Amino acid sequence: MLAVTVAAAVWASATGDIGVRSPLPGAVPLALALLSGWAVGMVRTRRWPLFLAAAVGWLVLAAAAAGVVASYQAGLRLRGRRLAGFLAGAAVVLAGGVLVGLAVGGVRRMTTAASGNVLMLAVCLVGLPLVFGLWVRARQETLAALRDRAERLEREQEARADRVRAEERTRIAREMHDVVAHRVSLMVVHAGALEVTAADPTTVEAAALIRTTGRQALTDLREVLGVLRQAGPGMAPERGLDGLDELIGESRAAGLRVSRRDEGVPTALPATLGRTAYRVVQEALTNVRKHAADAEVTVCLRYLSDGLEVLVRNGPAEGGTTLPGAGQGLLGLRERVELLGGRLEARPVDGGFLVRVLIPTAGAA
């Protein structure tokens, strides 16, 4: 649009609509108008055609449109010696315009050769557009510097945050190793001793289960500590649906009466969905062991066309204890499920408790 505007302005100047009417044949102003428009359109890749068109247009037709754009582009793009060269060239062109005006006479002389008009033309054609171009360039450079500074500060802040997180992870890993791992190791040792010395078969079986569970806990703890000691971000190793049978088997070995039921056609599910479903069942069985260890539990996986539904329901405890509401574990699960676009329901049902989770496949993909 700027190129078309400049070409139209040069033609209008040559015809006398906004300037001095040119006595030259119409082909000459038309060619100069087209040349000026083309030069403006090429200014992003080549500047010299615009400067040439501005000089020729002023000397031949006293057309100022290309000269205004050229002065703005000089302030925007030129620096140092090139800018000084442009100013010197502009002075030569203005002086040449004065000589042409004196030679042609008439309106052209009054417009381009009168001392007052020459000064005004120098300000309007060169000075103001050049200053505006310099201001725009300075503003762009300032914004670029501020943007670079903001990005640098953001990178430094992220680096500090990563360093603090790494130090905190290392501290947590050290404390977990010093406290938790030590006590679990003692538990495994005592359970092994009890397994060897006990005469009651039930006690021996319970001690063996405690020892096996303790060793598995130590293995899991070492994996978690390894993740915590990593310098970069990591994710604690978690099991998916393939570990669900083992989880239910461990709960049965601990004394729970657990049954599993699958409904629908099993399909390949995203790993994130599988890990979340495993954690739902694990947390629900843990709560049953804490609050209703003698209740019957049903774990149901329902494969849907667009997701997976997990239900863990336990009946009333034979001891008659009332089940409490959801605790911190279920709150954490709710946040985890909602991150995948699912929903979690946990409520008392017929003297027991129901945990129901629906996770869409799209949210976990």
Specify if 160 maps to a domain.
no
Lowest mean pLDDT among 218-227, 256-265, 271-280: 218-227
- Which of the listed residues 110, 133, 156 is the one where a domain comes to its end? 133
333 falls within a domain: yes
CATH code, 311? 3.30.565.10
Is 234 a member of any domain? no
| pLDDT reading at 180 higher than 80 | no
Render pLDDT for 299-353 as a digit per residue (tens, 0 to 9).
Answer: 999 999 888 999 999 988 776 544 444 456 777 788 788 878 889 998 888 888 9
In a domain, 261, yes or no: yes
Q: Does 31 map to a domain?
A: yes
User: pTM of the predicted model, to two decimals?
Assistant: 0.44
pLDDT for 96 equals: 82
pLDDT of residue 357: 93
In angstroms, the CA 253 to CA 273 distance is: 27
Query: How many domains are contained in the chain?
Result: 2
According to DSSP, residue 168 is labeled H
Q: Is residue 223 assigned to a domain?
A: no
The last residue of one of the domains, among 133, 166, 186, is 133
End position of a domain, from candidates 85, 108, 133: 133
Tokens found for residue 93: 């062109």
129 and 5 assigned to the same domain: yes
Within a domain: 60: yes
For residue 10, the enclosing domain spans 1-133
Q: How much is the pLDDT for 67? A: 79
Distance CA 205, CA 253 (A): 10
- Which residue in this structure is represented by tokens 């804490």? 290
Residues in Cβ contact with 224 at an 8 Å cutoff, skipping those fewer than 6 apart: 176, 236
Inter-residue contact 219 to 239 (CB < 8 Å): no
The answer as to whether 235 is a domain residue is no
